[in-house]
Chains A and B, each alone.
Chain A
């Protein structure tokens, strides 16, 4: 050893000097040749001891020197690119880790685009292509427990994982394909598999080695967010390799175990995503959750409770993984308990968003599908308690989606947890989500791939065969004809025949009076139904008759030439009094007014005594027609009944619906209140010409005679502008409703448990506000509504909050901008931070969207006001 040790330095020193200073191609060549002897695989190699020494001490110096000398002129010292090949061979054939480090170093150290940078980048690409990364990593794995330099390993780790970033920073536009992350990380994955293969081989040969460097590389790549690229290559390969090989499995488990804690989450989520099923996950992970606290936390808490972005198959493989081993099953039960606890907690229901609730529900059902009866029996009490609490709070919710979720999960879960008990049955319409949940509840199939387990499409029922006897009389019936008959059956798709009902023989009443009589006193149900069906049409056809039915022929009939006229003045007075409006003072002496109220009363108290198809709709439409006919008194009656004692919630909500629909009808532009709708008016007759003053007719006639028209056909008229009828009645609709909401009755507590009605009320108020656009009372309404919203703004129910937010939007839309600024500045100022807060933090997505919309309207308002004030 001694002579060798002394022999190396002078030779190398000599060669290095030549390399660094000489401009003579021949000398450089011979110096490189002498150095090359120390590389493995050379033609006349130096003794192994010297090689090792060279690799450890001097190789990087040589490489640095080579990089330094790199320039176009230097490479051309020898013809035919000999020098370049020789130069590159040092990097590609020498010890890989040092070559890699030096290459990276020189690339990072380059000041800007240069010949040297291009050359080294190309060399690095060749280096990657030649699979030298595997050599780099393998080298680190072999040096197990030896005097490995932690700084060196760290540097290698950083450079290996950060290569795309470094190269991208340095090369900018000139970056090579191989260095793009979407190309590099799959390559890295391939290299890891190769290294693992080599490690497995050497383990078989009895050599020890460690995978911790690979784990670090893998973990770091995942932390960098490259799970998809690297695991997309790695997982399928490992899935195949671990299928029937215990050694591979153990290597794989070790690989995952050695991943540092801070990378564990990134790796595990990536793995769960990439693995195609619980079996695969189990093969890859082993009992990792039992060994690593961090892994357990990620798998049983973080993915399930803190995040909800993962797909159902992922949940299935994760929970299936927990269920696959007897050691892990206690964890699964624990998870189920915690999941159900979360599912049942009323605060979680209130504060978690709907997608998250779906996610937890899915997880619960998957857990239940995996657990056996015996396991469930042990903790049945706890589970049932949490479940029932959750069902109760969900059924109380005013959001249909939440209610339906509660019903679906309750049905399925109770059947699993307590199979011998009476089955829970709810009435709900199946939708896509509930079907998905029901499918999850089925026990997992034994098949390897879950995708194959999709339920087979039910075979199309065979058509009923033709009666044999029918064809007897037709000896000539060709077989082709029958065939075409069979083929064509599919194309005869039936139309909707739901409208096909029995024709009622009873004569429909022809007068409103008869209808009222039939509805109140008739025991003849056919007549009762016919009256109900006819009522809307009758009222619409002759509004006057509906108003004056019982006073027909009476002198009072003549009084109401101008309905609503005297009330307008009165209303103005009330608005002056502001929101402290008290409507009880007004008593109409007019008997015909009371008739329409009478009609409304009859309709409101109408019970569905026989099963009439569409009863609700018929009653509602009739009521709307009554309100539209005589808005003020009927609306006043209905709103007073809304807060009356003896009504069901259903009736109260009906009142709200009727008021909304009637307001919509009244505010519809182009409504011709007096002209009956009987077909389209003929083009010749002009509806307004009779009322128009004579001079206008003369002028129009003159214009027409002097005008030449080039188009054919009669001139079209747009709809006549007319004042909104809702203007006169809006106050009657709105203020009585908003007055009493905070006064609980025995049977009706809006601020308490009847929050569903409160939600409907808020929505109705918002709609009324919106429909009151361009009316004189809009400002007063807006002020009252904003105050109302302000008191309820932190309501716990999402449905109510949605209503409040839409009400704010409708205030912003309906009240003129300058009036908003003049009359409601404080309210707007207060509303703004609240809206911003909701837009950011509300758990309900619709609430957030509505708040953003309201904020946008506020911004727009500001935009319209600022240009006005600036000039």
Chain B
């Protein structure tokens, strides 16, 4: 069985949609006829409702194809096998309320799922189990996704939207002890937090939190000092999603407006906007950078997934397959891209295959927190 899986995996990992063209690809300056727009590698159907969260799980060690977790509007979490392309399990723990965020923990088969029923569930998925082992009550009814900082220790850190509309609460898990509440200064009025990301620089032990706010700004919090290190206005509309490349100290955010913003963090921990990238249609629901930091993908309200070159922000592809808003995108460690949409389908794409022998370390988005970065340090 495992041998077959390996063979299967090698087939699709090295499968290139344009093998011959790649060898003779002209330099980008030439006006040669471009590659035709790509098609999805395959499509997962059967969630029966809009897909709001996606997360790849496993597969990092290369011995097995990863599983794909999807959270739907109807409150179900589906676990998809990418080998059989079927749902292998369905988790029902949010009482029919939308699942907005999925994240697995590095130390074992544990899954965190956030739902609009104001519950954050911790699932045990080991050995085919699918039982709720813990639950954290939430107090914010927004769509803000939580964030986890787990470095393989027993204890890990969780950032969730807090009780007050502008607050972010930091919990220590698994004890569920509230560490602190990050509350902006009284005159700042950034609005609700829209998206969160906990991280820790390799050079310092202090955890940091990046938060995108309703007024379009992105703020960097020093969690231990409970103060805002830096805040920069990236958008005029609420930040809907962002992703941060901790190696390049650069992030990209999307909002309800018609542009992507790229911002960076300097050594004084000050955020500054590097530039914006104009889009054809407004509305970005989610942004993800691929673990090898080559490309990034955005989930668009215009039903399309856009792929950019991460370093130059050159547009690479517009994936039009869905017939409704794309809510979320996710990358697997092997480069597979998944997009979940309001049309109840999940499309899987294989673009710009990752070179296996590349010496650049992986970021480890899909495999929960900054595991890769930690391993490197």
Contacts and interface: CB of A to CB of B under 8 A. Distances in A.
Interface string B37-78: 110000000000000000000000000000000000000000
B280 A493 contact: no
B295 A492 contact: yes
Contacts of B274: 467, 469-470
A492 B353 CA distance: 10
A685 to B, nearest CB: 20
Given A472-B266, A489-B309, A503-B281, A495 B37 contact: yes
Interface residues of A, number: 36
Interface string B345-374: 000000010010011100000000000000
A820 B368 CA distance: 78
Contacts of B272: 469
Contacts of B3: none
A544 B280 CA distance: 38
B312 A464 contact: yes
Contact of B248 (A477, A491, A497, A502): A477
B129 interface: no
Contacts of A488: 294, 355
B250 A492 contact: no
Contacts of B82: none
Contact of B35 (A476, A477, A495): A495
A490 B352 CA distance: 11
B265 interface: yes
Contacts of A484: 358-360
A461 B29 contact: yes
A491 B280 CA distance: 25
B311 interface: yes
B21 interface: yes
Contacts of A497: 34, 37, 315, 317-318
Contact of B37 (A460, A473, A499): A499
A837 B346 CA distance: 64
B253 to A, nearest CB: 15
Contacts of A471: 248-249
Contacts of A493: 18, 21-22, 25, 28, 34-35
B335 to A, nearest CB: 12
A85 interface: no
B304 interface: yes
B304 to A, nearest CB: 7
A499 B320 contact: yes
B266 A473 contact: yes
A192 to B, nearest CB: 48
A495 B316 contact: yes
Contacts of B22: 491, 493
A47 B352 CA distance: 94
Contacts of A498: 34
A524 interface: no
Interface string A460-486: 110110110111111111001100110
B36 interface: yes
A472 B295 contact: no
Contacts of B360: 481, 484
Contacts of A470: 248-250, 264, 274
B202 interface: yes
Given A476-B202, A489-B309, A503 B28 contact: no
B140 to A, nearest CB: 30
A496 interface: yes
B358 A495 contact: no
A507 interface: no
A494 B316 contact: yes
Contacts of A469: 264, 266, 272, 274
Contacts of A476: 202, 247
Contacts of B280: 500-502
Nearest to B201: A473
Place the interface of chain B in its size category: 35 or more
Contacts of B35: 493-496
Interface centre among A458, A470, A477, A485 (most CB of B within 10 A): A470
A477 B247 contact: yes
Nearest to A494: B316
A554 to B, nearest CB: 35
Interface string B193-207: 000000000110000
A492 B352 contact: yes
B9 to A, nearest CB: 22
A789 to B, nearest CB: 39
A480 B361 CA distance: 12
B267 interface: yes
Contacts of B304: 500
A268 B303 CA distance: 69
Contacts of A491: 22, 25, 352
B27 interface: yes
B86 interface: no
| Centre residue among B38, B266, B272 by max chain A CB count within 10 A | B266
Contacts of B248: 470-471, 473-474, 477
Contact of A494 (B34, B266, B320): B34
A501 B18 CA distance: 25
Contact of B25 (A466, A490, A499, A503): A490
A496 B35 CA distance: 5
Contacts of B264: 467, 469-470, 472-473
B267 A492 contact: no
A460 B311 contact: no
Contacts of B316: 492, 494-495
Contacts of A495: 34-38, 316-318
Given A472-B249, A491-B22, A502 B311 contact: no
A683 to B, nearest CB: 18
B267 A481 contact: no
Contacts of A460: 27, 29
A475 B33 CA distance: 40
A271 B248 CA distance: 66
Contacts of B250: 470, 473
B314 to A, nearest CB: 7
B14 to A, nearest CB: 14
Contact of B318 (A464, A473, A500): A500
A507 to B, nearest CB: 14
Interface string A387-410: 000000000000000000000000
Interface string A741-753: 0000000000000
B274 to A, nearest CB: 6
B302 interface: yes
Interface in B228-264: 247-250, 264
Nearest to A462: B29
B46 to A, nearest CB: 16
A463 B35 CA distance: 21
Interface in B275-307: 280-281, 294-295, 302-304
A435 to B, nearest CB: 13
Nearest to A473: B249
A484 B294 CA distance: 11
B28 to A, nearest CB: 7
Contacts of A499: 37, 318, 320
A71 B119 CA distance: 118
A308 to B, nearest CB: 32
A499 B309 CA distance: 19
Nearest to B32: A493
A494 B28 contact: yes
9 contacts: A464-B312, A473-B250, A473-B265, A476-B202, A484-B360, A493-B21, A494-B34, A497-B37, A503-B281
Interface of B: 18, 21-22, 25, 27-29, 33-38, 202-203, 247-250, 264-267, 272, 274, 280-281, 294-295, 302-304, 309, 311-312, 314-318, 320, 352, 355, 358-360
Nearest 7 CB-CB pairings of A with B: A473-B249, A495-B317, A496-B34, A500-B318, A503-B302, A472-B266, A460-B27
Given A492-B309, A493-B21, A495-B317, 9 more contacts: A464-B312, A467-B264, A469-B272, A471-B248, A484-B360, A493-B28, A495-B318, A496-B33, A502-B281
